[in-house]
């Protein structure tokens, strides 16, 4: 888990030798990457802990959790012209391996898949406190 500590506006003259080293680029590569229009931002991140999704992958959900997931997917599917969220998950499960989103969607006929804006409109709001 990463924590965003600070974002500050900077100039090329603010870049230190240590900054260049941490990018993994040569000074010339870094200069080329920041050349042109735009604002140079220094973004400070730090490791804030383990990814909580790792712990979730290591345990099976309880029956009540599964029922809640199935109910939520049913609501999302019902709000879509075509129930693509459940179909996408079924394709992933049937392959028994990690499937990239794009390759799974190519297995579904293009006219069945809503645009990303349409899909977003059908998503339920989430809360970190659920």
Question: Which residues span the domain enclosing 26?
Answer: 2-47
Predicted local confidence at residue 125, as pLDDT: 45
The single residue listed with the structure tokens 């006219």 is 111
The tally of CA atoms less than 13 A away on the side-chain side of residue 98 is 1
Domain identity same for 19 and 67: no
pTM for the model stands at: 0.43
Predicted local confidence at residue 130, as pLDDT: 33
CB 17 within 8 Å of CB 51: no
Quote the number of domains for the chain.
Answer: 2
10-residue mean pLDDT series, the chain (130 residues): 93 90 92 89 92 86 90 90 83 64 56 51 42
Residue 91 lies in a domain: yes
Domain identity same for 79 and 110: yes
Predicted local confidence at residue 13, as pLDDT: 87
Predicted local confidence at residue 114, as pLDDT: 53
How many CB atoms are located within 10 Å of the residue 100 CB? 9
Predicted local confidence at residue 128, as pLDDT: 36
């Amino acid at each position: 888990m990463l924590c965003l500590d600070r974002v500050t506006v900077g100039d090329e003259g603010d870049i230190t030798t240590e900054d260049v080293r941490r990018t993994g680029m040569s000074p010339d590569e870094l200069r080329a990457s920041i050349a042109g229009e735009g604002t140079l931002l220094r973004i400070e991140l730090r490791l804030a802990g383990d990814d909580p999704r790792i712990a979730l992958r290591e345990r099976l959900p309880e029956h009540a959790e599964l029922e809640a997931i199935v109910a939520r997917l049913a609501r999302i599917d019902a709000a879509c012209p075509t129930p693509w969220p459940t179909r996408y998950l079924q394709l992933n499960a049937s392959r028994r391996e990690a499937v990239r989103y794009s390759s799974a969607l190519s297995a579904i006929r293009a006219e069945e898949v809503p645009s990303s804006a349409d899909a977003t409109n059908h998503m339920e709001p989430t809360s970190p406190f659920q």
